[in-house]
Amino acid sequence: MAAGRKSPVVLMKWRRPLDYRQAVWDEIRRAEGAFAEPWLSNTAKVQIRTVRSYLQCLVAGGILSSEDGPPRLYRLVHNTGLHAPRIRPNGTAVEQGRGRASAWLAMRVLKRFTVRELHAACGATEVDIKSFCKHLLKAGYLKAAVKGAGGAPSTYLLIRNTGPLPPQVTRIKCVYDQNLGEVTWPTAQVEAEAVVDGLP
């Protein structure tokens, strides 16, 4: 970009992101007996190609069984709980994000904690826990009860417990609450200003 030239500012309205895995998984758990892709696509409001791809991963991971059709029918054989399984096409589990899910669970149990105590309770790295706590502080989930000083760690209080699913820190550093289905930081009423290079 030429010296002195200002990057244009683009205003973006907040939109609720769709966690397609969770939407599909919720309907799978509600299904009674076998189900087909079109039914699941319509019920979860997720494109059928996306549904098919996720179902193939769940079959590879042993969570669903499938029967040849037409139509191909699927059946839940291993209910792993509330959280949507994150499975690769080869059937192996995706570990990314589990640390924060474990940290959120520990926060809900402990209510008052330090980063070190969360690390001991859930096994997530202290670096990741610090980053997670920083964003939860901004979003109003945590309150600093005791500020760290002289090598002593800060103590946090959980003051906003919205449910079992952990708040997500997105790639653009927003906090999205899966339980509420909304962005909680910055506030949903505020428009985000993003500086984008290269626009005319």
Task: Locate 132 and state its tokens.
Answer: 């997670």
Task: Break the chain into its structural domains and give their ranges.
Answer: 20-76, 98-185
Q: What CATH number was assigned to the domain covering residues 20-76?
A: 1.10.10.10
Whats the size of the chain, residue-wise?
200
CATH 1.10.10.10 is right for the domain spanning 98-185: yes
Instruction: Give the CA distances from residue 101 to residues 104, 155, 164, in Å, rounded to whole numbers and listed in that order.
Output: 5, 20, 9
Distance (Å, whole) CA 113 – CA 164: 18
119 sits in which H/E element: helix 115-122
pTM for the structure as a whole: 0.57
Per-residue pLDDT of the chain (200 residues; tens, 9 = 90+): 444 444 333 334 444 445 788 899 999 999 989 999 999 999 999 999 999 999 999 999 999 999 987 889 999 999 988 878 889 899 888 776 788 888 999 999 999 999 999 999 988 899 999 999 999 999 999 999 998 777 788 999 999 999 998 998 887 788 988 888 888 888 644 444 333 332 32
User: What DSSP state is assigned to residue 87?
Assistant: B
Place of tokens 């709980």: 81
Sheet holding 142-146, edge to edge: 112-113, 155-158, 142-146
